């Protein structure tokens, strides 16, 4: 391979802005100028894999991406996927103590519960929701329970569907929940745990671009969209929050990340506690 292909091309300001505009138009992520180094490092890996010599060549490839496969690969590369089980535990305390009892009361007749993890990354959040629901509700026999888990990244969804996690990722899962919902998965070079089928069947994973039309017809009792809106500008956040309002059932709950706020965003939610809101 030539030295030219081995070297990493520079990302000019003009090229960065073109990529930034493209990404924002595709999925709403706002790549400000402070992300130049991140974009260059992550996309350089794609350039090397594809044998391309410049970002101009790569942008031409994206513009001519008829089947969308490289566009998906680009968004996979640029998506940030930081998560772990029971991240931001106060949300799961609120889910257990307040939200789940209210959902059970409201659905005593139809016995149908629907929750959505919007931006589920590698699956830890929806599985944490499912474990909390099982633990707080007790016997769910006869209930129609569904947790939708969506993400932009096909790479993360593949990990989530597989449901296999190294032992160090399980440190925040209580021992009782670990034994009930996971089994040791020995077919790896390091100790791993695999999600049991009883938990897995509660969660449905699907790719979804939050900026695109949503195919879901029914309403949700709770929506978790945490540490996602920090990548959007205020107008995009406001549009997304309004769409979450429309997608929630009356009395439904919206959870956002502790680093996020609805300050400056017009909305009709009732504040319950920090980063927890209710559709009244």
pLDDT for position 159: 95
pLDDT for position 9: 86
Domain 89-278 adopts which CATH fold? Answer: Rossmann fold (3.40.50)
Q: Are strands 144-151 and 248-256 parallel, antiparallel or unpaired?
A: unpaired
Is pTM beyond 0.85? Reply is yes
Whole-angstrom distance, CA of residue 178 vs CA of residue 61: 45
* SS3 state of residue 99: helix
Whole-angstrom distance, CA of residue 230 vs CA of residue 256: 10
Note down pLDDT in tens along the chain; length 280 residues: 344 444 678 899 999 999 999 999 988 888 888 889 999 999 999 999 999 999 999 999 999 988 889 998 999 888 877 789 999 999 999 999 999 999 999 999 999 999 999 999 999 999 999 999 999 998 899 999 999 999 999 999 999 999 999 998 999 999 999 999 999 988 667 789 999 999 999 999 999 999 999 999 999 999 999 999 988 999 999 999 999 999 999 999 999 999 898 988 889 999 999 999 999 8
Place of tokens 């500008």: 233
Domain 3-78 adopts which CATH fold? Answer: Chemotaxis Receptor Methyltransferase Cher; domain 1 (1.10.155)
Domain ranges, ordered by start, for the chain: 3-78, 89-278
Whole-angstrom distance, CA of residue 255 vs CA of residue 227: 10
pLDDT for position 7: 64
Whole-angstrom distance, CA of residue 239 vs CA of residue 173: 34
Residue 42 falls in the annotated catalytic set: yes
How many Cβ atoms sit within 10 Å of the Cβ of residue 93?
13
Cβ proximity of 119 and 149 under 8 Å: no
Whole-angstrom distance, CA of residue 183 vs CA of residue 164: 9
Which listed residue (40, 46, 87, 151) is catalytic?
151
Whole-angstrom distance, CA of residue 228 vs CA of residue 250: 23
Q: Which residues pair with 195 in a beta bridge?
A: 182
């Amino acid at each position: 391979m030539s030295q030219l292909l081995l070297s990493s091309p520079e990302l000019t300001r003009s090229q960065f802005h073109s990529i930034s505009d493209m990404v924002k138009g595709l999925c709403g992520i706002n790549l400000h100028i402070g992300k130049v180094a991140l974009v260059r490092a992550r996309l350089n890996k794609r350039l090397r894999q594809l044998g391309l010599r410049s970002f101009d060549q790569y942008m031409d490839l994206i513009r001519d991406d008829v089947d969308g496969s490289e566009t998906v690969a680009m968004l996979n590369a640029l998506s940030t996927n930081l998560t772990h089980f029971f991240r931001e535990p106060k949300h799961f305390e609120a889910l257990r103590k307040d939200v789940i009892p209210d959902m059970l009361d409201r659905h005593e007749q139809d016995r149908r519960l629907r929750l959505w993890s919007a931006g589920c990354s590698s699956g830890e959040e929806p599985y944490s929701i499912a474990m909390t629901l099982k633990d707080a509700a007790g016997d769910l026999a006869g209930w129609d329970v569904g947790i939708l888990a969506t993400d932009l990244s096909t790479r993360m969804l593949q990990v989530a569907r597989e449901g296999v996690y190294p032992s160090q990722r399980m440190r925040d899962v209580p021992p009782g929940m670990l034994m009930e919902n996971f089994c040791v998965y020995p077919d790896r070079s390091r100790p791993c745990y695999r999600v049991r089928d009883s938990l897995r069947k509660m969660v449905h994973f699907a790719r979804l671009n939050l900026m695109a039309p949503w195919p879901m017809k029914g309403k949700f009792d709770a929506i978790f969209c945490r540490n996602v809106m920090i990548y959007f500008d205020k107008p995009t956040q406001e549009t997304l929050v309004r769409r979450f309002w429309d997608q929630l059932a009356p009395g439904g709950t919206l959870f956002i990340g502790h680093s996020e706020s609805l300050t400056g965003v017009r909305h009709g939610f009732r504040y319950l506690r920090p980063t927890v809101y209710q559709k009244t």
